[in-house]
Structure 1
Amino acid sequence: MNRTATDTALMLRCSGRPVGRYVIHPPAAPRLAPRPYLHPVRTFGGLPVTEFAPADHPHHLGVSVAVPDAAGRNFWGGRTYVRGQGPTELDNHGEQRHLEFKLRDPDGFVEEVGWLDGEHELLRERRTVAVTPLSTSAWALDFTFSLTNPADAEISIGSPATNGRPGAAYGGFFWRAPKETRAPGVFTADADGEAAVHGSAADWLALAGPGWTLVFAGATPETRRDPWFVRTAEYPGVGSSLAHTRRLPIGPGETVVRRIVTVVCDGSPGRAECAGLVRKAVAA
C-alpha cells in the first residue's frame, strides 16, 4: 500500500514554528540500517543543524538512535568492526520499524519501535520526543528511549570500542550536525576541544557552528554516566555512548532507559548561558 506524506513523516512545531521533521518510515536503502530519524532540524532562526546521509558517512541520518552491535546485529549502518579484522562488510544490518504512536501531537509524540533481525524482534523500544521553547532564540528537544529485551535470554549492546577499536565507543543517541567549511567548536563546563571532551562524562557538552549552538545533556543519573562520543575534525557529530568500555547487558524482560535533552540555539551562548539553558530544559 502506498503511504501518503503524512504517513511517512510528521513536522514538530515549537511555539507554532516548525523546528524538525520526523521521518517515520524511511525508504529502504542498502547499508543504511533503516530507522526513524529527525531531519532537518532547525533553529528558531531557520538554520539547519542536522545532516542526512552525507558523503563521508552515508549511514548518518540526522538525529536517531543507532547502535552498531545489538546481539551481533548492526543498527548503525555501514561496516561492522570485527575484532582482529577491522571494519568489515557484513550482511548483518537490522531494522528499526515504527509500530504505532501511543501519542502524537504537534510538539511531540510517544512511539513504539521494533528492532528487528529480519522479522524477529530483538528489542522493543518506546521513544518519547518533545519540543519546548526556552527563549526567543533557543528551544529544547527532549528525547527518551527505553529498550526492552522481549526474549527469555540475555542480549547485549556493544560498540567498536568493546570489540577492539579504542576510542570508538559510538552507539546510542546520535546527532549528525552539518559539515561546513570550518569545523565546529566543542566545549564543556571546564574543557575545550575534541581531544579534551571526547570520552568524558560531562554534565553537558556544547557543539558550536557558524550562527548556531547545540547543547547536549544527560537528563537521568544513568544517562549522565554515559561518556560522550564526539567528532569535530573528521565530521561534526555527538552521541552518548551506551557501551564505552564494556558491553551493556539487557536481561530477559529488562529495560534500559536513556534521556538526552538538546538545546538548539541561534548564536553563540557562553558557558554560563549554556548551563542555564540546560537547567531550564531539563526541568521543563
Structure 2
Amino acid sequence: MNDDSPVLRIGGRPVARYVTRPALPDRLSPRPYLHPVTTLAGTAVTELAPADHTHHLGVGVAVPDVEGHNFWGGRTYVRDRGPTELDNHGTQRHSGFRLREPEGFVEELRWTAAGTELLRERRTVTAVALTGTAWALDFAFSLTNVTARALTIGSPATNGRPGAAYGGFFWRARRERDAPRVFTADAEGEEAAHARPADWLALAGAGWTLVLAGATAETRRDPWFVRAAEYPGVGSSLAHDRRLTVEAGDTFTRRVVTVVADGTLDRTGAAGLVREAVSP
C-alpha cells in the first residue's frame, strides 16, 4: 500500500484502489477517487474518465456548484445558457490520513477554489466482508464550511435544468452493451427510480450487481440520481429541488453503503444483503 494509492482488501483480496493525488487537468476538477472497484471474482464495476463523460472518476464525491465553483468537472450548467465552459473548477486536496488499515481509511481533505479553502472534509471508507460472493463499500463524508459566511450547494436542477440534480456521492458504473437493470424495493426501471428517495437502489449488469443504500436519515431523504440508458451511473442528490445551505462553521454528513455482488441479484437478495451491510 503506497501513499498515493492505498488498496482496500477483503480477506487479503484486493477489491478497490484509492487514488489520493491524481494528475488531472483543472477541467476535470481534480479529486481523489476509487478505481478500479471490483467484485470478489475480479469483475470491474467502475469506470475512469470514460469517453462519454471524461470527468466521471470511479467512485467519490463530486459537486457541480459550491457558490458557483465546479467540483464535478466538465461544463457548468448556467441558467438560460445551458452547459458552458467556465474557468471555475475547484480541487479536492488530500491533506492526510488519520487512519489506514487494509480494509479502509479515514482521510482529511480540503476543498479549494480560486485560491480559497471553502470546505474541509473527513472521509471514512471501509470494505466490509458479507458473503463469499458479495462485499460492501461503506463510504461516509462530512463537509464543514470553513469560511466566515454561509455557503450554498446547488446542482444543474436548482440552476434550471430539470431532472439533473446530480452532486454528492457518485458511482460511475461499468458500461456494457446493454444498459443495467435499475430497481428499488418498489420501483422498476430508470424513470421510476430517478429523482426519488428510496432506502436502497440497485444496478444489475451482466454478472454483477450494485446495491446502494442510504445509511443515515439525511442520506435516505436525498433522492437518487440515476442514469442507465445514456450511461451507467448513480448517486445521491444533495441539492434536488433547492440549494443546500451550510452556515459558517457548520458540518453536514452523508453515508452510502454499496453492496458489490457477483451475479444478478433479485429484490429479495438485494434487500437481504443491504440489511446485513447497513446493520449496526
Q: TM-score range by the shorter chain?
A: over 0.9
Query: For residue 128 of structure 2, what is the aligned residue in structure 1?
Result: 132
Within the alignment, does 1:84 sit opposite 2:80 as a pair? yes
Query: For residue 58 of structure 1, what is the aligned residue in structure 2?
Result: 54
Alpha-carbon distance in 2 for matches of 1:28, 1:118: 17
Cα deviations by residue, 1:197-256 (Å, 9 ceiling, x for unpaired):
001101100000100000000001010000000000000000000000000000011001
Map residues 121-200 of structure 1 onto 2, 5 A cutoff.
Answer: 121-200=117-196
Cα deviations by residue, 1:173-212 (Å, 9 ceiling, x for unpaired):
0000111111111000111111100011011000001000
Cα deviations by residue, 1:83-108 (Å, 9 ceiling, x for unpaired):
01000000000000000100011100
Cα deviations by residue, 1:246-271 (Å, 9 ceiling, x for unpaired):
00000011001000000000001211
Query: For residue 244 of structure 1, what is the aligned residue in structure 2?
Result: 240
Query: For residue 259 of structure 1, what is the aligned residue in structure 2?
Result: 255
Alpha-carbon distance in 2 for matches of 1:151, 1:112: 17
| SS at structure 2 position matched to 1:122 | strand
Query: For residue 103 of structure 1, what is the aligned residue in structure 2?
Result: 99
Q: How many residues matched? A: 280
Within the alignment, does 1:31 sit opposite 2:27 as a pair? yes
Conserved? CA contact 2:26–2:89, under 8 Å: no
- TM-score, normalisation: structure 2: 0.99
Deviation at 1:30, TM superposition (A): 4.0
Alpha-carbon distance in 2 for matches of 1:275, 1:253: 37
Alpha-carbon distance in 2 for matches of 1:30, 1:108: 28
The residue type paired with residue 198 of structure 2 is A
Cα deviations by residue, 1:142-200 (Å, 9 ceiling, x for unpaired):
00000000111000100000000000000000000111111111000111111100011
Alpha-carbon distance in 1 for matches of 2:3, 2:125: 18
Structure 1 moving runs of 4+ over 2 Å: none
Query: For residue 42 of structure 1, what is the aligned residue in structure 2?
Result: 38
Alpha-carbon distance in 1 for matches of 2:113, 2:71: 10
Quote the RMSD (CA, aligned, Å): 0.9
The unaligned stretches of length 5 or more in structure 2 are none
Within the alignment, does 1:221 sit opposite 2:217 as a pair? yes
Alpha-carbon distance in 2 for matches of 1:47, 1:62: 14
The residue type paired with residue 220 of structure 1 is T
